């Protein structure tokens, strides 16, 4: 990778997405209208939330009967027991539960707050809907990448973004919960540095850096500009998805 | 913040930096040569390593006498006891020490591996030099920001980047260890979302996202293109530095 100029552009006036919408077609239409065509190596970033909406990943809290565990964790965290039940339904482990905070291992292997379930930017309804993460973000990215490649006749990358907090730093940053086409992780192991010395083991989380860059323009409410084009990066094709970024449990020093 | 297009450009042919170099003057000269002038709101990103080099933050391992604690941690981690002593000298606490890994709280409040001390991209010498982080990254960024503002007659931001690993995700991402001019942390608390509902407490680590974006073009060896211009972001001036991104210890659930 030796990119010198990267341009990050939001797709303008992207429509609000509703369950059943053909999101890949809407994305292609928006990109075509704004950019005409894409260039080989372009990466399209899509905010998780619109993927979840198109796939109707809503749950109605009124339909949820919280378990005893959910009630217990709701007591500890001060959260709605039905919301906690929804979180547990998406999780394989609870890492921390303290007032205001519930950190879990999502079934996708992501360590995150509330299993990524969001109540913001969801239309007000008596039923108090919440929105789960997509079933399989890497698979969505792969489908979208193939569709983009077909439509534009070039080789693209796709990333699906969410925003995570970090254990030792305040604020959220963009994270790649799905990716396709480009290598999510770049290995520098064994490459010589500027002085011919071999670099110590280093891997770069390319997909997460692209996600952080994309989120710079997605807008505050995270749905204002959910589709972003990243141009100018130089990369080699890869079959790995963002799931490859999950640190294996046996390497986890901080669980 | 409502940016729609952000451009990230590496300063080309940036010279190798040596102790005593006037880094701000070299940066201004490189930016002027390549871009002519800067625009108000432009952010200049500088890789930590060249700041450390200019400030001669080298240590010679041959000069270091490891303490008993350093020898003990060297046994556990398999690292050079003199290197471990250098790490301890920069640290206020050891969080984890296992084979190959030493994670500490740096005196700047950063939770990171090896106190950010690097042996790569340092000229081979019999003395085996290592390079410490700058004394005060926020202060350097503030000095550079004022210098840039004076030179170009506009209002700029500055960020100093390093690359950190993460506890639950593989690979490193760019992190802001210093910043000036722009708000490192954007508070969304109380802002209404798209549907007029108040967003749950959310803060965005703007400085870290900018650092991650900048590192996309700094190059593999992290010193190939150490100075990067980020244009197109919309932000309000702030006096806070990147130190504001350190999570207070009493909020740390994973120490």
> Which pLDDT tens digit goes with each residue over B109-128?
999 999 999 876 555 555 58
Q: What is the mean pLDDT of chain B?
A: 91
Higher pLDDT residue, A31 or A122? A31
Q: How far is A65 from chain B (nearest CA, A)?
A: 24
Residue with structure tokens 């919301």? Answer: A83
Q: Show residues of chain A in contact with B210, CB under 8 Å.
A: 216
Q: Which CATH architecture has domain B58-131?
A: Alpha-Beta Complex (3.90)
**Residues with Cβ < 8 Å from B141, sequence gap 6 or more?**
B46, B158, B159, B160, B178, B179, B180, B181, B241, B242
Cite the residue boundaries of each domain of chain B with CATH code 3.30.1330.100. 7-51+136-247
DSSP-assigned letter for residue B41: T
Confidence class of residue B197 from pLDDT cuts 50, 70 and 90? low
Cite the residue boundaries of each domain of chain A with CATH code 3.90.1660.10. 58-131
Q: Show residues of chain B in contact with A16, CB under 8 Å.
A: 194
Q: Which helix (H) or strand (E) holds A153?
A: none
Q: Please name every residue paired with B174 in a beta bridge, in sequence order, or none if there are none.
A: B163
Q: How far is A212 from chain B (nearest CA, A)?
A: 5
A116: left (phi over 0), alpha (psi -120 to 50) or beta: left
Classify domain B7-51+136-247 by CATH number. Answer: 3.30.1330.100
Reduced DSSP (H G I as helix, E B as strand, rest coil) percent helix, strand, coil of chain A, to 5: 30, 25, 40
With vertex at residue B106, the alpha carbon angle to CA B100 and CA B108, rounded to the nearest 5 degrees, is 155
Is it the case that residue B131 has pLDDT exceeding 90? yes
User: A101 is written with which tokens?
Assistant: 């905070």
Cite the residue boundaries of each domain of chain A with CATH code 3.30.1330.100. 7-51+135-245
Confidence class of residue B202 from pLDDT cuts 50, 70 and 90? confident
Contact between A173 and B215 under an 8 Å Cβ cutoff? The reply is no
Is it the case that residue A125 has pLDDT exceeding 60? no
Higher pLDDT residue, A95 or A121? A95
What tens digit of pLDDT does each residue of B149-170 get? 999 999 999 999 999 999 999 9
| One-character DSSP codes across B129-173 | EEEPPPS-HHHHHHHHHHHHHHHHTS--EEEEEEEE--SSBSSBE
Confidence class of residue A197 from pLDDT cuts 50, 70 and 90? low
Rounded percentage of chain A residues whose pLDDT exceeds 90: 85
Q: How far is B255 from chain A (nearest CA, A)?
A: 7
Q: Do A254 and B12 touch (CB under 8 A)?
A: no
Superfamily designation of domain A7-51+135-245: CofE-like (3.30.1330.100)
Phi and psi at residue B16, to the nearest 5°: -65, 140
Q: What is the pTM of this model?
A: 0.94
Instruction: Give the per-residue pLDDT at B38.
Output: 96
Contact between B237 and B172 under an 8 Å Cβ cutoff? The reply is no
Instruction: Give the per-residue pLDDT at A190.
Output: 62
Q: Please name every residue paired with B91 in a beta bridge, in sequence order, or none if there are none.
A: B106
Rounded percentage of chain B residues whose pLDDT exceeds 70: 89
Q: How far, in Å, CA of A186 to CA of B173, rounded?
A: 11
Mean pLDDT to the nearest integer, A78-100: 96
In a mutagenesis test of the A interface, which of B7, B80, B163, B170 is the best target, namely the one with the most A β-carbons within 10 Å? B170
């Amino acid at each position: 990778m030796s990119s010198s100029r990267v341009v990050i552009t939001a797709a303008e006036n992207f429509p609000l997405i509703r369950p059943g919408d053909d999101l890949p077609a809407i994305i292609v239409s928006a990109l075509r209208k704004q950019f005409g065509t894409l260039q080989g190596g372009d990466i399209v970033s899509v905010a998780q939330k619109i993927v979840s909406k198109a796939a109707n990943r809503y749950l109605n809290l009124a339909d949820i009967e919280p378990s005893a565990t959910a009630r217990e964790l709701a007591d500890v965290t001060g959260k709605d027991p039905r919301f906690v039940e929804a979180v547990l339904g998406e999780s394989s482990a609870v890492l921390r539960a303290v007032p205001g905070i519930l950190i879990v291992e999502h079934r996708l292997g992501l360590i995150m707050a509330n299993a990524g379930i969001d109540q913001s930017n969801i239309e007000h309804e008596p039923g108090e809907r919440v929105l789960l993460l997509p079933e399989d973000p890497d698979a969505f990215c792969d489908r979208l990448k193939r569709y983009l490649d077909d439509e534009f006749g070039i080789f693209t990358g796709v990333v699906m973004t969410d925003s995570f907090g970090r254990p030792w730093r305040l604020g959220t940053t963009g994270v790649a919960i799905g990716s396709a086409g480009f290598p999510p992780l770049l290995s520098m192991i064994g490459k010589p540095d500027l002085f011919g010395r071999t670099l110590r083991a280093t891997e770069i989380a390319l997909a997460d850096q692209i996600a952080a860059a994309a989120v710079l323009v997605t807008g505050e409410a995270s749905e204002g500009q959910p589709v972003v084009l990243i141009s100018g990066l130089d990369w080699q094709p890869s079959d790995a998805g963002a799931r490859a970024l999950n640190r294996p449990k046996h390497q986890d020093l901080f669980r």
